[in-house]
Amino acid sequence: MEFIEPHAHMIFRTTDDYQQLALTGCVAIAEPVFWAGSDRLSADSFEDYFRQLTESEPRRAAQFGIQHYAYLCINPKEGNNRELARAVIERIPKFLSRPNVIGIGEIGLNRNTRNELETFKDHVALALEYSQLILIHTPILEDKLKGTRLIIRALQSFKNLNPKRVMIDNAEEHTIGMIRDSGFRCGLTLYPDTKMSYSRAVDIVEIFGTEGIYVNSACDWGKSVPMAVPRFVTEMRRRKHPEESIRKVVFDNPMAFLSQSTNFRVPSPKALAGLVGKDQAGR
Amino acid sequence: MRNLAGSCLLNVNQVLDEYFLESRHRLLEVAAFLDRLDRAHDGIDPATDCRAAALRDAIDVLLDGGPQRARHIQMIMSDPTDEPQPR
């Protein structure tokens, strides 16, 4: 089945992973900014990272017929350093006109600090100023509930924000309700140990329905699974879900979200055929 | 949230056939983890650690027969406060 991977850190993965993704049906990937494993020393390092995301990674993906898109930001963990965050945010606008850039992300909170929250708000303001999509990371484990509440409260302070252009990711059983009730799009990250398992993700689809829900691997340099989305497809089939429901979660929903960016292109002729009679943005 | 009755497309036997062995495996992992804590060489009572205490509270949820056990356990293991950390 064709699928879109709406959140993967491919810069930290091998070219073989791109090939495996293509072989399992991946037609497009959206890559947000991530923590590199140690804090960067200057905004120059981020500028190099942004060039990789907008120059090298699209070329690497294209070798296997995969479209590559990028979100830019300073990630939530390093965003706690306000001085560095301001310097990085100042440099983002000159990259926003690059053809594969679709938004600001993954912004959000890591340890729910005041500094992280201020950097998060600066990013949201930037996204609104430049009409960019927003991808949001919510904290892990015991910090997730509080972090998700703080993020939603901060987003709601922006009166001109359209919640349909915001994907709040890493949702779990105790946060998905508040995300959906607030009108935001909702991502489930299929990740070993600290996030969502395949079976629990299918439980959530069964409980909440397929509307506005996405799944992603968020694969990075840590213990993660680039082929998580096809594994989710297998788990949905194991539960006897029809193919159209599966396709909605792994293809139609991410396509509707990403198509709100003018830089996003329909990934394949097959996908184009599926759009006949529909608004591409799903609005 | 909609009525959840019937939201799983498998019947009871099918759920058991598909997931019993996996669940048995995971339950044994938890049991072995608790045994391991008891066997830890320093002899400290694991119940004094908030993580172990939360795990025991979560195990009670498994036994209480109520709905949405996964969500309930997530809430037990969450910071309930609302104010950001100062730093």
Domain total for chain A? 1
> What average pLDDT score do residues A60-73 get?
97
Q: Write out pLDDT tens, residues A179-215.
A: 999 999 999 999 988 889 999 999 999 999 999 999 9
Residues of chain B numbered 1-40 and touching chain A (CB < 8 Å): 1-2, 4, 7-10, 18-19, 22
Residues of chain B numbered 48-67 and touching chain A (CB < 8 Å): none
Q: What is the CATH number of the domain that holds A102?
A: 3.20.20.140
Flag whether B84 is in a domain.
Answer: no
CB of B42 within 8 Å of a chain A CB? The answer is: no
Residue A272 predicted with pLDDT over 90: no
Q: Give the model's confidence band at A60: pLDDT under 50 very low, under 70 low, under 90 confident, else very high.
A: very high
Flag whether B66 is in a domain.
Answer: yes
For residue B82, give how far its alpha carbon lies from the nearest alpha carbon of chain A (Å).
6
Domain total for chain B? 2
Residue B46 has a pLDDT of 87
Residue B69 has a pLDDT of 95
Quick one: three-class SS letters along chain B? Answer: CCCCCCCCCCCHHHHHHHHHHHHHHHHHHHHHHHHHHHHCCCCCCHHHCHHHHHHHHHHHHHHCCCCCHHHHHHHHCCCCCCCCECC
Residues of chain B positioned with their CB less than 8 A from the CB of A172: 74
Distances (CA, A) of A22 to A45, A81, A230, B11: 30, 38, 11, 35
Mean model confidence pLDDT for chain A: 94
Backbone angles phi, psi at A136, to 5 degrees: -120, 130
Higher pLDDT, B45 or A259: A259
Which amino acid is present at A95? F
Of the candidates A212, A244, A249, the residue with the CA atom closest to the CA atom of residue A230: A249
Residue A268 predicted with pLDDT over 90: no
Residue A283 predicted with pLDDT over 70: no
| CB spacing of B10 vs A240 below 8 angstroms | yes
- Pair B75, B49 in one domain: yes
Residue A46 predicted with pLDDT over 50: yes
Flag whether B85 is in a domain.
Answer: no
Residue B66 has a pLDDT of 87
Flag whether B4 is in a domain.
Answer: no
Flag whether A277 is in a domain.
Answer: no
Residue A274 predicted with pLDDT over 70: no
- Pair B60, B50 in one domain: yes
Flag whether A233 is in a domain.
Answer: yes
| CB spacing of A174 vs B75 below 8 angstroms | yes
Lowest mean pLDDT among A14-18, A140-144, A250-254: A140-144
Residues of chain B positioned with their CB less than 8 A from the CB of A240: 9-10
Lowest mean pLDDT among A18-22, A140-144, A236-240, A255-259: A140-144
- Pair B14, B38 in one domain: yes
Which amino acid is present at A166? V
Residue B3 has a pLDDT of 79
Element (H, E) at A108: strand A101-108
Q: Write out pLDDT tens, residues A125-171.
A: 999 999 999 999 999 999 999 999 999 999 999 999 999 999 999 99
Residue A236 has a pLDDT of 98
Flag whether A161 is in a domain.
Answer: yes
| CB spacing of A115 vs B81 below 8 angstroms | no
Flag whether A275 is in a domain.
Answer: no
ipTM: 0.91
Q: Give the model's confidence band at B87: pLDDT under 50 very low, under 70 low, under 90 confident, else very high.
A: confident
Instruction: Please give the residue range of the domain that contains residue A95.
Output: 3-269
| CB spacing of A142 vs B19 below 8 angstroms | no
Sequential DSSP letters for A143-174? GHHHHHHHHHHHHHT-TT--GGGEEE-S--TT
| CB spacing of B86 vs A113 below 8 angstroms | yes
Residue A234 predicted with pLDDT over 50: yes
Residue A280 predicted with pLDDT over 60: no
For residue A17, give how far its alpha carbon lies from the nearest alpha carbon of chain B (Å).
28
Instruction: Please give the residue range of the domain that contains residue B32.
Output: 10-43
> What average pLDDT score do residues B37-65 get?
90
Closest CB to B87 among A113, A173, A238 = A113
Residue A210 has a pLDDT of 96
Residues A265, A230: Cα–Cα separation, whole Å: 22
Residue A193 has a pLDDT of 86
DSSP state of A54: I
- Pair B39, B52 in one domain: no
Mode of pairing for the β-strands spanning A166-168 and A185-189: parallel
CB of B87 within 8 Å of a chain A CB? The answer is: yes
Size of interface A-B (CB pairs under 8 A): 67
- Pair B73, B51 in one domain: yes
| CB spacing of A115 vs B87 below 8 angstroms | yes
Mean pLDDT: which of A48-52, A194-198, B46-50 is highest? A48-52
Residues B42, A94: Cα–Cα separation, whole Å: 57
Residue B2 has a pLDDT of 63
Flag whether A283 is in a domain.
Answer: no
| pLDDT cut 90: percent of chain A above it | 92
Flag whether B16 is in a domain.
Answer: yes
Residue B28 predicted with pLDDT over 70: yes
Residue A278 has a pLDDT of 45
Instruction: Report the DSSP beta bridge partners of residue A70.
Output: A31, A101
Closest CB to B78 among A80, A174, A240 = A174
- Pair B35, B56 in one domain: no
Q: Which chain B residue shows the shortest CA-CA distance from A181?
A: B1
- Pair B39, B59 in one domain: no
Q: Give the model's confidence band at B43: pLDDT under 50 very low, under 70 low, under 90 confident, else very high.
A: confident
Residue A271 has a pLDDT of 55
Residues of chain B positioned with their CB less than 8 A from the CB of A199: 19, 22
Residues B62, B84: Cα–Cα separation, whole Å: 31
Instruction: Among B61, B79, B82, pick the best mutation site for testing chain A contact (most A Cβ within 10 A).
Output: B79
| CB spacing of B70 vs A240 below 8 angstroms | no
Flag whether A265 is in a domain.
Answer: yes
| CB spacing of B87 vs A141 below 8 angstroms | no
Residue A3 predicted with pLDDT over 60: yes
| CB spacing of A207 vs B7 below 8 angstroms | yes
